[in-house]
Amino acid sequence: MSQEEKLKEFERKIESGEKIEPKDWMPENYRKQLIRMMSQHAHSEIVGMLPEGNWITRAPSLRRKLGLLAKVQDEAGHGLYLYSATETLGVDRSELIENLHNGKAKYSSIFNYPTLTWADIGLIGWLVDGAAIINQTMLAKSSYGPYSRALIRICKEENFHKKQGYEIVSKLAGGTKKQKEMVQEAFNRWWWPTLMMFGPPDKDSPNSAELMKWKVKLNSNDDLRQRFVNLTVPQAIAVDLKVPDPDLKYNEETGNWEFGEINWEEFWNVVKGNGPLNKERLKVRNDAHDRGAWVREAAEAYASKHSSLN
């Protein structure tokens, strides 16, 4: 088959909704875009453990501690599913991890914000996992087989993440005056960065058009963001929290909750590495990796000793 015929066949598959599998021919840019996007996604799961891990030892009850531990463990699993799916594209995991650790690769900017109070843990589960669910439900239909399969697995686990978060939020919101203030304050801090999680507006999203053409993504950033707002505002109202947006209003005609201007300057600033905790997150990751080096070495030594005995 000529290149042209291969491309035609590839496009036919995408068009008809067939999945692309690792050994299938694919345009170089499809492969590149997937490696970039999937490894970013994997890194986000891994770095995403840090803001929540920060509170495990200080969880207010055993019930909360169990839930949080299980959730953080799931996120480690999500990272591993996604690294494994990315490796099917012919990259090595050590290369991906190295790019995370030296700052070349990106991860979701939301994890560069601090978790200042226990209420933040509720907000992360409710909002950040809530936003991730919307994004990942779309990606579970992605055209690349291994990515789609990893996400189907992930989506099954995410609902518990969101629910445990919302439970924390609703208990605090219905608690003492101090608890209510704490959760409202945390909501005020997390709301806007969560809306930014869906990425820049479609007109400023450099990769979006290509990703949608190849059905890696099926919806635009703005569509997903609107879906999230429509779903979340009633949940805020239900627990009597005020969405920190004076321009928020319901549009009877479209059924959409219209929201105010997002501060994209802040978004790009955090993406570029100037968020509150960019440096801290990378340092913690690197330190943990370095401290684990002796374990990896010991495992290798043990394995080679035993295989030479056999």
Partner 1 sequence: MKDSQHKLWEVFVQAKTGAPHEHAGSVHAADSEIALQNARDVFSRRNEAVSLWVVPSDQIVASTPEDEGPFFDPANDKIYRHPKFYSVPKGVRM
Q: Which of residues 6-25 bind partner 1 (CB under 8 A)?
A: 21, 23-25
- From the list partner 1, Fe ion, none, pick the one residue 161 interacts with, judged by a Cβ distance below 5 to 8 Å according to partner type: Fe ion
Binding segment (CB under 8 A) for partner 1, from list 123-131, 144-152, 233-241, 278-286:
144-152
Q: Which of 66, 237, 288, 303 binds partner 1 (CB under 8 A)?
A: 303
- What DSSP letter does each residue of the chain carry, written as one string? --HHHHHHHHHHHHHHTPPB-TTS---HHHHHHHHHHHHHHHHHHHHTHHHHHTTGGG-SSHHHHHHHHHHHHHHHHHHHHHHHHHHTTT--HHHHHHHHHTT-S---GGGGS---SHHHHHHIIIIIHHHHHHHHHHHTT-SBHHHHHHHHHHHHHHHHHHHHHHHHHHHHHTS-HHHHHHHHHHHHHHHHHHHHTT-S-GGG-TTHHHHHHTTS--S-HHHHHHHHHHHHHHHHHHTT---S-TT-EEETTTTEEE-----HHHHHHIIIIISTTHHHHHHHHHHHHHHTHHHHHHHHHHHHHHHHH-
* CA dist., res. 222 & res. 224, Å (int): 5
CB of 1 to partner 1, least distance (A): 8
Q: Could you tell me whether strands 249-251 and 256-258 are parallel, antiparallel, or unpaired per DSSP bridges? A: antiparallel
CB of 258 to Fe ion, least distance (A): 28
CB of 93 to partner 1, least distance (A): 5
Q: Which of residues 273-302 bind partner 1 (CB under 8 A)?
A: 289, 293, 296-297, 299-300, 302
- From the list Fe ion, partner 1, none, pick the one residue 85 interacts with, judged by a Cβ distance below 5 to 8 Å according to partner type: partner 1
Q: Please report whether residue 87 would count as binding partner 1 according to CB under 8 A.
A: yes
Total residues contacting partner 1 (rule CB under 8 A)? 33
Contacting residues toward Fe ion, per CB under 5 A:
45, 75, 78, 129, 158, 161
Residue with smaller CB distance to Fe ion, 120 or 129: 129
Tell me the C-alpha to C-alpha distance, in Å, between residue 143 and each of 138, 200, 299: 11, 22, 37
Contacts of 293 (CB under 8 A, 6+ apart): none
In this structure, what token pair is assigned to residue 292? Answer: 């684990």
Residue with smaller CB distance to partner 1, 143 or 219: 143
CB of 8 to Fe ion, least distance (A): 37
Q: Which of 38, 46, 89, 150 binds partner 1 (CB under 8 A)?
A: 150
Q: Which of 15, 18, 92, 204 binds partner 1 (CB under 8 A)?
A: 92
CB of 181 to partner 1, least distance (A): 36
Q: Please report whether residue 45 would count as binding partner 1 according to CB under 8 A.
A: no
Q: Please report whether residue 132 would count as binding partner 1 according to CB under 8 A.
A: no
Residue with smaller CB distance to partner 1, 84 or 274: 84
Footprint of partner 1 (CB under 8 A): 21, 23-25, 70, 73-74, 77, 80-81, 84-85, 87, 92-94, 97-98, 146, 149-150, 153, 157, 289, 293, 296-297, 299-300, 302-303, 306-307
